[in-house]
Chain A
Amino acid sequence: MITAFIERVLPDTPMMVMIAGFHPEDTKTGPRPRSAGEPVDLDEVAPEAPFATPDSGVVALIARSSTDLRRAATLADLFPEAKHLLVAVTQSPPHRSFAAPAADPGWPPPRSLRLHRGPAGDWVIEGRFDRQMSMRDFVAATVRGLDGRRVAAPLFPRVALAGRGAAAWRPGELGTALVGEGGPLVESDGYLPADLVLRSTGPASPPWPDPLVPVVDRPRTDRLSWAGLGSSGGIGEARALLPALSDVDAVPPVDERSVNPWGFVSDPELGHGVLTQRGDRWCVTIPRDDGEEELVRFHPSGAVTDADVGRLRRLRSVGIEWGRHTGPIAAVRVIAGLAAAGVPLTAARVPLWAGALGELLASVITQADEDTLADDLRREEHSVRLRRAALRTHSSQARWRGLAASAGLEVPARPMVSVILCTRRPDFIGSALRQIARQRDVDVEVILTLHGVPAALPEVTTAAAGFTKPITIVEVPPDVPFGAALNRGIGRASGRYLAKWDDDDFYGPDFLADMVLASNYSGAELVGCFAQFTYLEQIDLTIYRRAGQSERMGRGVAGGTFVMERAFVDAIGGFPPVPRSVDAAMMKAVSAAGGRTYRTHGLGFMLNRRASGHTWAMPVTYFLRSVDRQWRGLHPSPLMECDATDIGDRVAAN
């Protein structure tokens, strides 16, 4: 269960060991740390009484992956204090660095803080303190390190967890309240730490006694395997549980901060894999000359980890073999996790018992086959559709909005995106506003920043009058530098996100929703995409430039695709107030402030390189130099859904 490297780093003294994410057979048969007693499996404990501080003064948390570590961290309030603390992860995906704990100035002074990384991507963080140090804070700092220490809003609503395995419902949510299955929730001073209780229940769970807060009961995942359904509780219990199982809310959510499209490979070197079942476990195999090779074996609960996903990135597709299976929840959980990560799943059909996938995800899975996915672009399009469907249905955010709504809580509005459309060209406003108007799954306002264009112009008034979403018009004198004009627009924005919108480029209807998703799962301060698709008007040609991998941190993005949180933009003083090259200046400013840039997929955006009057005077030959594919005429990606738009009209006219 632990690697030889971790074994070497762990101290040779007695210690308390907590584990998370390991397969039951691994914990029975695999090597154990020396000098450790029986490890505490955090997936198997009920979050009731905090653990006692070990006499040895040494405590270790060993997780199979950082996804498992995040889930374990949800239970951090149970963790003891110690002077020698260790956090280890045995598998990590190749593209991720490991976490450096964000040490807090309030900590007792450490004697040493050491980071170790092994050859297989396994790593250990070790802290030694003169005084007792809270393992809770140590793990919290490590998990924040995984995230790049971004200040992240807690999930809505405030939830208390009860019962064995409940942490799977709030992965990575430090500060989640923990409570016994029988309550009580309210603290001695009358403070109510949660607005909703989620209980992971067994057959003997008592009824929830506290009328102050609504409760959501979910059967423990081990009861939902066919074996579990057929045994102990018997047929009656199975009947009682089954109807609920086709509801998406029956499935523990995907931890999207950990299992997400990050690291997607758009030109995989391996072929088609199969998601199939071996014993009580789902696994992915690929055919080899001498039989087949097992690439990944998932946890029996169906929880997918970032390390699992990392191993599947090189596959062109994964076909689902429904066949016999371990239980509906585990199967749906595996599929939802892989889909959220953008692993190109295919299936000829979706059986009735997998209804908890949700209609959207179930229909996307069946919309591709091995033949269509042989093409890199078709494959990436399919992956994007899967991500959207899975992240919108099965992410922690989506799940809890759903659960809260069912419980009768008032769900806050989605965070709004303020689109900063700054233009000098009144002719373009109408088309730009139509593209903003068709943005889906996102709440939008427009700050139409007129840079030297009078608001009274008929082009402006007509376009604005036809726009059905909130719009604010800001007039900026023409001599104000472009960067400063943007800032004046931003000054009037009220959304949580800001999107810089170019007046003459082409945007797909999911552009903003995808950017908000990417902002959420990447944790980057600036998200955007590369202009992979570009229309060269001068020669009536659409080009596709792959330009390296998307879904990566630290790559440049096109200025017309910048999406940032308003708070961050304010923190760095807005756009540099320069007259030109604002985009390049902004990327530098973001980086200099310690912000990170994340490049998501580029299939929802098309740069329009006009024949004349372009602010960016690169010749057509510059674009032609690194072309991977080209099409005569206007050829937007299918994800742009241009049929009934101005662009579609132009395509049709061709």
Chain B
Amino acid sequence: MTGSAGRTRQPRVRHNDYGSLRVPDLGDWEPRRSVSVVIPAYAGQDKLDLTLASLAGQTYPSHLLQVIVVDDGSRPPLRLPEIVPENVSLIQSLPGKWGRAHACHSGALRADGEVIHWLDADMVIFRDHIEANMRWHHVADYLVVMGYKRFVEFTAGRLSPQTVFDAVSGGSAGGLFDIERSARHEWVEKIIDETDGLRASRNRTYRVHVGATASTPKELLLAAGGMDNSIVLGEDTDLGFRLAQQGAVFVPEPAARSWHLGASTVMRRREEVARHNEPSLSQRLPMRRDWRRWIGRQWLVPFVDVVVDARESAYEDVRARVAGALASTVPDVHVTVVGPWSELTADRRAPLDDPLLDLRLVREAFRHDGRVTYVERCPATSAPAPFRLICPPGWVPTADALPRLVQLIEAGGHGVVFLALPEGAGLVVARFERTAAFARALMVREEADDLDDLVHEMFGTHWIDGTEWALAPAGDPPRAISVAALEAQAQKWKREAAQWRRKAEHWEAEAARLKDKLQAPVGRKLTEAARRRLSRAR
């Protein structure tokens, strides 16, 4: 039913509100799509045996269910136990690296299913766990579905694989452990509860994409760039963020129940995990503004990408736009300059009479700035950067433009903010785009659809006067903000304040004089009035 050729019409989900989607009741539908369950494993054969036993007892049709156990270098190596699902294979992580992310990546490369379901090797899943997730993957191609789990104490040998298989396949997996003595995944479920099951969640929904049990269409996973095997912890959060930039909708599925055997590392050593992950995840998660408060650092994934089209523009105009973007008070900005760079050959030319002279100057001007990239064609989205500004010729973003635009687009949850700019009698429009919105629009687009219409339908669009605070006509280079300059400004205001103070004193004195006059004896008032009359009469 998918496959790039015969893709079905995709439903249009607003923000993360998957409530508009209808999924069939469990046991009351006919699955058609295949799934590959990828189990990264390191040691823990006894738990793995139980995980596989529970997979053997699934309601999901076995001809659509592939299970790949990835041994991440266990000593002694892991083996397949007696009770296993029908279509199971045990492979080794690809050589050269190690870690959960790498094992997942290795498993995904071998997966044949249309959907990849990450499952940890210390999970006992209930019999309709896979089915519960998979029904969502039959209604839309951009859903990421997360199962539920209860953490329980695990004593090796207490449960045999046979007991687990019998309980799971018999529909009594709930009796394997005492629910009263289990713990829920506290912070994740709290977020889910507070956001109506993520339906009301907006910009940071990806946070809840934690491992253990989660499924993603393979195409979506590939579009997001797959699992990043260069990091060893926190890889699921990073993947969640990149999936979100592909327009993913995150669906928590309470019917996909499981027992998690033993507490997770994050639960046991929370602060150490956070400290360990900060250097690598701060590079990858621009939404974590608290991690990016450093000034002057550069980061792997930018917060905002500014797209500047260099074609048919003078060098000075492009320079002003790029330099203006780089001077933003958002430190993690990136600039993408679009132009026919491959035409700039090294052949001998008349330097001053080169028909491509302005492009050459542009290419040269920012060649050594790490935040500037030159591309031939403007990409459909700036993923994984969550936002981008498309800055038209002649207009330069102000220093405050990007943070205010982010604030505006986030406050309204809009998919795009249009910035109207007058140009003669006509109009030029700059665009501030939410990457996830355009990625999803591209995903659901039918031939006749207009992307902006789709973005409007799913996220909303918003217009502002682009000249009010966001963009200024291209002109002089942006003024540097320095302490010295600010001090000079402060001095100027101080002088003005002194002037105002003198004026205020003058008027205070005037008020006192009038009060005095008012309280003067009647006789004096009469005398003064008479004098005035006389002077008028003259």
Please tell me if the beta carbons of A624 and B425 are within 8 angstroms of each other in the complex: no
Please tell me if the beta carbons of B418 and A539 are within 8 angstroms of each other in the complex: yes
Contacts of B468 in A (CB 8 A): 621, 625
* Mask of B180-224 contacts with A, CB within 8 angstroms, 1/0: 000000000000000000000000000000000000000000000
Q: Which of A538, A612, A625 is within 8 Å of B465, CB to CB?
A: A625
User: Interface size on A (CB < 8 Å)?
Assistant: 14
Please tell me if the beta carbons of B420 and A624 are within 8 angstroms of each other in the complex: yes
**Contacts A539-B427, A612-B425, A619-B422; A624 near B464 (Cβ below 8 A):** yes
Residues on A lying within 8 angstroms of B by beta carbon are 538-539, 541, 543, 612, 619-622, 624-625, 627, 630, 632
Of all chain A residues, which has the CB nearest B429? A539
* Alpha-carbon gap, A538 to B421, bound state (A): 12
* Mask of B461-498 contacts with A, CB within 8 angstroms, 1/0: 11111111000000000000000000000000000000
Contacts of B431 in A (CB 8 A): none
Judge whether B292 is part of the interface by a CB distance below 8 angstroms: no
* Alpha-carbon gap, A630 to B414, bound state (A): 12
Please tell me if the beta carbons of B461 and A620 are within 8 angstroms of each other in the complex: no
Between A and B, 26 residue pairs with Cβ closer than 8 Å are A538-B427, A539-B418, A539-B420, A539-B427, A539-B429, A539-B463, A541-B463, A612-B425, A619-B422, A619-B427, A620-B422, A621-B420, A621-B422, A621-B465, A621-B466, A621-B467, A621-B468, A624-B420, A624-B463, A624-B464, A624-B465, A625-B465, A625-B468, A627-B463, A632-B456, A632-B461
Q: How far is the CB of B470 from chain A (nearest CB, A)?
A: 11
Contacts of A539 in B (CB 8 A): 418, 420, 427, 429, 463
Known: A539-B418, A619-B427, A627-B463. 16 other contacts (CB 8 A): A539-B427, A539-B429, A541-B463, A543-B463, A620-B427, A621-B420, A621-B422, A621-B465, A621-B467, A624-B420, A624-B464, A624-B465, A625-B465, A625-B468, A627-B464, A632-B456
Contacts of B429 in A (CB 8 A): 539
* Alpha-carbon gap, A614 to B121, bound state (A): 70
Please tell me if the beta carbons of A630 and B463 are within 8 angstroms of each other in the complex: yes
Of all chain B residues, which has the CB nearest A623? B465
Contacts of A630 in B (CB 8 A): 462-463
Q: How far is the CB of B250 from chain A (nearest CB, A)?
A: 27
User: Interface size on B (CB < 8 Å)?
Assistant: 16
Contacts of A620 in B (CB 8 A): 420, 422, 427
* Alpha-carbon gap, A93 to B437, bound state (A): 50
CB-based closest 9 A-B pairs: A624-B465, A621-B465, A619-B422, A625-B465, A621-B420, A620-B420, A632-B456, A541-B463, A621-B422
Residues on B lying within 8 angstroms of A by beta carbon are 418, 420-422, 425, 427, 429, 456, 461-468
Contacts of B467 in A (CB 8 A): 621
Contacts of A543 in B (CB 8 A): 463
Contacts of B422 in A (CB 8 A): 619-621
Contacts of B465 in A (CB 8 A): 621-622, 624-625
* Alpha-carbon gap, A620 to B464, bound state (A): 10
Which one of B418, B429, B465 has the highest number of Cβ atoms from chain A below 10 Å of its Cβ? B465
* Alpha-carbon gap, A608 to B138, bound state (A): 46
Which one of A539, A541, A619, A630 has the highest number of Cβ atoms from chain B below 10 Å of its Cβ? A619
Q: How far is the CB of A633 from chain B (nearest CB, A)?
A: 9
Contacts of B418 in A (CB 8 A): 539
Of all chain B residues, which has the CB nearest A632? B456
**Contacts A538-B427, A539-B427, A632-B456; A621 near B421 (Cβ below 8 A):** yes
* Alpha-carbon gap, A620 to B425, bound state (A): 10
* Alpha-carbon gap, A574 to B170, bound state (A): 92
Q: How far is the CB of A618 from chain B (nearest CB, A)?
A: 10
* Alpha-carbon gap, A621 to B465, bound state (A): 5
* Alpha-carbon gap, A620 to B421, bound state (A): 8
Contacts of A612 in B (CB 8 A): 425
Q: How far is the CB of B203 from chain A (nearest CB, A)?
A: 21
Q: How far is the CB of A33 from chain B (nearest CB, A)?
A: 31
Contacts of B425 in A (CB 8 A): 612
Contacts of A625 in B (CB 8 A): 465, 468
Of all chain A residues, which has the CB nearest B423? A619
Contacts of B456 in A (CB 8 A): 632
Q: How far is the CB of B240 from chain A (nearest CB, A)?
A: 31
Which one of A539, A621, A630 has the highest number of Cβ atoms from chain B below 10 Å of its Cβ? A621
Contacts of A622 in B (CB 8 A): 465
* Alpha-carbon gap, A625 to B427, bound state (A): 15
Contacts of B466 in A (CB 8 A): 621
* Alpha-carbon gap, A625 to B421, bound state (A): 12
